[in-house]
């Protein structure tokens, strides 16, 4: 984007048993309160970004606190809006088959809570898949993705196109949506790249893109075609993160590594416990940024955008927190705090980082000026700090 500035609008955290961690601001962004959009410019579009909302806070009322906050605030908008769910829409294994009655019912309750937000505003609502939606990146992921897409796109009825699931049919084909004359969204399925194709029946069947290299070629073509537009790339996995998928771990991870498997396993394993964070920092699984297979996609996209000298915002989830990075003309947003909170490093490369639940809104102004607003949410009480 031409001029994406960081503008944090945090909400006060109303917690019954204490307060959450305070936000981190780098030295370049600590004076964010004095920054503001250029006077006299009008907002032409607002984009809400929320990721990893795949579980409910209240099983009885079937609600998610962050989704409810998004619904409340997006309903107040007077300009054009878009809402994007950035993957991991259903924990833990995406949309089950209808044969598994109990799990299917729970999955539908979870995704329907998000789908209810589509009726809170006049604009479009989009979903992209994450690794959990691909059967937690295990075999059978393509079928789970297609089941989720079918449910999402039938939610409002066949004649209502306000809700879309992109990319479609478990394919790696990027979807380009022109929002207005200057703004373009590009929807990617990054788990498609990371998935073990040999274990998926009919992988890439009926798709235009058949190989990973074809995807990179197509991305370069899209970036080149829209080099004079504002481009926002929606994808689940981040290029940059100071969270656990980026190799940042807390003391708890080193001393009590078994809590990653089960939150109740507080068994101290000093020294030995550091092997797990060390592995993820150096090699990691495909879900981690340091992993070679992950970097083949992420660093290639980064390199393409840098080479073309275009302005791109990469919006993602995956790490359960809120983060903002800048790299020349490239901006990186992590909004994966829709359902969980994980460790986010303070003092890393991020200009802003927060280990708290919430979402991000980007306001697009006239003449390519844009501002990212970060909101934190708890107990569904939103108090804006200005």
Sheet of strand 230-234, all strands in order from the earlier edge strand to the far edge: 24-25, 352-354, 322-327, 330-335, 312-316, 230-234, 183-187, 175-178
* pLDDT range class, residue 276, cuts 50, 70, 90: low
- pLDDT in the model for residue 62: 96
pLDDT at 4 over 70: no
Tens digit of each residue's pLDDT (9 = 90 or more) over 41-87: 899 999 999 999 999 999 999 999 999 999 999 999 999 999 999 99
Backbone angles phi, psi at 157, to 5 degrees: 100, 155
Tell me whether the omega of the peptide bond preceding residue 92 falls within 30 degrees of 0, making it cis: yes
* pLDDT range class, residue 17, cuts 50, 70, 90: very low
* Range of lowest pLDDT (38-42, 91-95, 179-183): 38-42
Task: Tell me which residue of 329, 353, 320, 341 sits closest to 51, measured CA to CA.
Answer: 320
Tens digit of each residue's pLDDT (9 = 90 or more) over 203-247: 999 999 999 999 999 999 999 999 999 999 999 999 999 988 787
Q: Which residue has the tokens 């729970």?
A: 106
Alpha-carbon distance of 335 to 324, in angstroms, equals 9
8 Å CB contact between 48 and 70: yes
- pLDDT in the model for residue 248: 73
- pLDDT in the model for residue 385: 40
Task: Tell me which residue of 127, 128, 111, 114 sits closest to 191, measured CA to CA.
Answer: 128
Tens digit of each residue's pLDDT (9 = 90 or more) over 317-345: 999 999 999 999 999 999 999 999 998 98
* pLDDT range class, residue 262, cuts 50, 70, 90: low
8 Å CB contact between 94 and 49: no
Q: Tokens in use for 340?
A: 């969980």
Alpha-carbon distance of 244 to 249, in angstroms, equals 6
* pLDDT range class, residue 252, cuts 50, 70, 90: low
- pLDDT in the model for residue 381: 53
8 Å CB contact between 128 and 166: yes
Name which residue leads in pLDDT, 174 or 382: 174
Tens digit of each residue's pLDDT (9 = 90 or more) over 206-216: 999 999 999 99
Alpha-carbon distance of 135 to 113, in angstroms, equals 20
- pLDDT in the model for residue 162: 93
The average pLDDT across 142-158 equals 95
Alpha-carbon distance of 233 to 313, in angstroms, equals 6
For the chain, give the secondary structure using H, E and C. Answer: CCEEEECCCCECCCCCCCCCCCCEECCCCCCHHHCCCCCCCCEEEEEEEECCCCCCCECCCCECHHHHHHHHHHCCCCCCEEEEECCCCCCCCCCCCCCCHHHHHHHHHHHHHHHHHHHHCCCEEEECCCCCCCCCCCCCHHHHHHHHHHHHHHCCCCCCCCEEECCCCCCCCCEEEECCCCEEEEECCHHHHHCCHHHCCCCCCCCCCCCHHHHHHHHHHHHHHCCCCEEEEECCCCCCCCEHHHCCCCHHHHHCHHHHCCCCCCCCCCCHHHHHHHHHHHCCCCCCCCCHHHHHHHHHHHHHHHHHCCCEEEEECCCCCEEEEEECCEEEEEECCCCCCCCECCCCCCCEEECCCEEEEEEEEHHHEEEEEEEECCCCCCCECC
8 Å CB contact between 197 and 243: no
* Range of lowest pLDDT (44-53, 191-200, 296-305, 373-382): 373-382
């Amino acid at each position: 984007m031409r001029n994406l500035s960081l503008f944090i609008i945090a909400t006060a955290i109303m917690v019954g048993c204490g307060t959450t961690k305070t936000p981190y601001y780098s030295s370049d962004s600590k004076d964010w309160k004095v920054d503001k959009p250029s006077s006299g410019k009008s907002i032409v579009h607002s984009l809400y970004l929320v990721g990893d909302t795949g579980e409910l806070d209240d099983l009885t009322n079937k609600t998610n606190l962050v989704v409810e906050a998004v619904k409340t605030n997006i309903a107040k908008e007077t300009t054009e809006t878009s809402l994007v769910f950035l993957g991991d829409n259903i924990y833990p294994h995406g949309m089950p088959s209808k044969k598994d009655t109990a799990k299917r019912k729970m999955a539908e309750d979870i995704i329907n809570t998000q789908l209810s937000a589509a009726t809170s505003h006049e604009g479009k609502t989009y979903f992209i898949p994450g690794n959990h939606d691909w059967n937690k990146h295990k075999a059978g992921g393509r079928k789970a993705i297609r089941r989720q897409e079918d449910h999402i796109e039938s939610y409002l009825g066949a004649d209502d196109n306000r809700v879309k699931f992109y990319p479609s049919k478990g394919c790696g084909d990027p979807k380009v949506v022109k929002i207005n004359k200057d703004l373009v969204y590009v929807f990617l399925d990054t788990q498609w790249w990371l998935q073990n194709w040999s274990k998926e029946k009919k992988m890439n069947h009926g798709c235009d893109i058949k190989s990973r290299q074809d995807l990179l070629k197509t991305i370069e073509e899209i970036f080149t075609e829209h080099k004079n537009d504002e481009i926002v790339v929606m994808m689940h996995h981040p290029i940059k993160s100071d969270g656990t998928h980026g190799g940042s771990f807390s003391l708890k991870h080193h001393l009590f590594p078994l809590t990653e498997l089960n939150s109740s396993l507080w068994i101290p394993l000093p020294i030995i416990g550091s092997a797990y964070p060390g592995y993820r920092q150096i090699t990691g699984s495909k879900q981690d940024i340091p992993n070679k297979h992950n970097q083949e996609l992420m660093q290639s996209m980064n390199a393409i955008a840098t080479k073309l000298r275009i302005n791109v915002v990469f919006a993602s989830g995956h790490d359960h927190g809120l983060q903002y990075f800048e790299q020349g003309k490239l901006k990186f947003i992590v909004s994966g705090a829709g359902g969980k909170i994980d460790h986010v490093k303070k003092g890393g490369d991020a200009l802003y980082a927060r280990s708290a639940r919430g979402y991000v809104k980007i306001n697009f102004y006239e003449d390519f000026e844009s501002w990212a607003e970060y909101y934190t949410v708890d107990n569904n009480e939103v108090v804006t700090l200005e």
